[in-house]
Chain A
Amino acid sequence: MIEGDIVQPGAGAAQTYGSGSSGRGAANLGDILERILDKGLVIAGDIKVNLLDIELLTIKLRLVIASLDTAREVGINWWEADPWLSADAARREDSAVSAGTAAPMPRAGESELRAENRRLRRRVTELEAGGEDY
């Protein structure tokens, strides 16, 4: 009942149950990074890389891992220009916007859409009166 419908997790050691457990040495890079970067004993390190940097890195990586091969071909710095992924880029964009140099186009359209969404959602909520609160 799931064939064709569901996007399977990337080929790797994250096994959809039934295909067998992951073997040694074959663990998927994403699974390894998730554990060694996010988990594990934290002892005071003499040499510290800001934990915030690591967390940001982890988030970036989770995205990258979705298309690791692609990311490699493209070069791994592509995210640096992406405001959603990079705090630096977001700051750059913000200051650009406040300086009036960035195209304001998407924002205006977006706020209209948001307002319309809000109206419609409210209406849906009203229609649903009697249903469960959400």
Chain B
Amino acid sequence: MTGHQGVWVYAIADHAGGDVFLPAGVARTQVRAIAAAGLAVLASHVDLAEFGEEALRRNLENLTWLEEMARAHHNVVDAAVRLFPVLPTRFSTVYRSEAAMVAALAERGDQLRSALARVGGRMEWGVKAYAVPAGEGDPTAGKGDASEPITASVAGQGPGTGAESGAGMAYLKRRRAQISARQEFSRTAAASAREVHIELSGHAAQARLYPPQAPALSRTKAPMLLNASYLIDTSGSARFGSVVAVATAAHPDLQLDLTGPWPPYSFTGLEG
């Protein structure tokens, strides 16, 4: 508390202003609703010695620090979304002063209000679909290595070298069978994932697709085929859960992971 104070922003809220009762923010700071652009910005005052540009860059690389701040930040947004419509702001949005923050938002009131109207009364649900590795039903599927990338060359990349032995040919035939089995499997699993997405989108006010995470980056070795977020009416949460359950039953080639309800992190409508 010795250095200069800055302002850490959690979310823009459709709230007339006045006191809000929210969990403590990052570094146990008190969250306030600050009027800007006719809306309220949920923010807290932070020490720039910890949250200034250089310190922030350093601290973001510290997982212990990041976890504490990430949880605190999310707790505030998650509590706020239960009180009034909010547009969560990207983690590590910091201003040197309230005046700078208010100025940054001044022109965007209308845009923010329409985005708030869209997310009001709705929550975000995340769905990821993973290919279930081909199981006992598929003898050509290999030894549980369905996560191995299917690499098929584009024909005509260069001249072929004709050399082939009997063993080599047998290997290639085996390999060919494996590859076609996997391709077939991947095609149907990918088609299933598309179907699931179409089905779930039909129950959502809005949907967003993200690139599937590479197996090395997600927490499973199975290939991810769908990485999506759905904006669902709060009153429809239970129904959405059953729709996912039905989709799970209908697509045994997929494993579906459902997370939520989340504040509408994916539906702020002003990305970039």
Contact = CB atoms under 8 A, between A and B. Distances in A.
Interface in A22-75: 22, 24-25, 27-33, 35-50, 53-54, 57, 59, 61-66, 68, 71-72
Contact of A40 (B78, B173, B218, B268): B268
B110 interface: no
A118 B89 contact: no
A2 B255 contact: yes
A13 to B, nearest CB: 6
The secondary structure that dominates the B interface is mixed
Contacts of B222: 6-7
A131 B210 CA distance: 31
A92 interface: no
Contacts of A128: 176, 179-180
B270 A41 contact: yes
A59 B218 CA distance: 10
B63 A35 contact: no
Contacts of A8: 220
A40 B265 contact: yes
Interface residues of B, number: 96
A20 to B, nearest CB: 9
A99 interface: no
Interface of A: 1-2, 5-10, 13-18, 21-22, 24-25, 27-33, 35-50, 53-54, 57, 59, 61-66, 68, 71-72, 76-77, 118-128, 131-134
Nearest to B135: A1
Contacts of A123: 160, 164, 172
Interface stretch (B14-22, B27-35, B54-62): B54-62
Nearest to B175: A124
Nearest to B88: A40
A9 B176 CA distance: 31
A42 B164 CA distance: 58
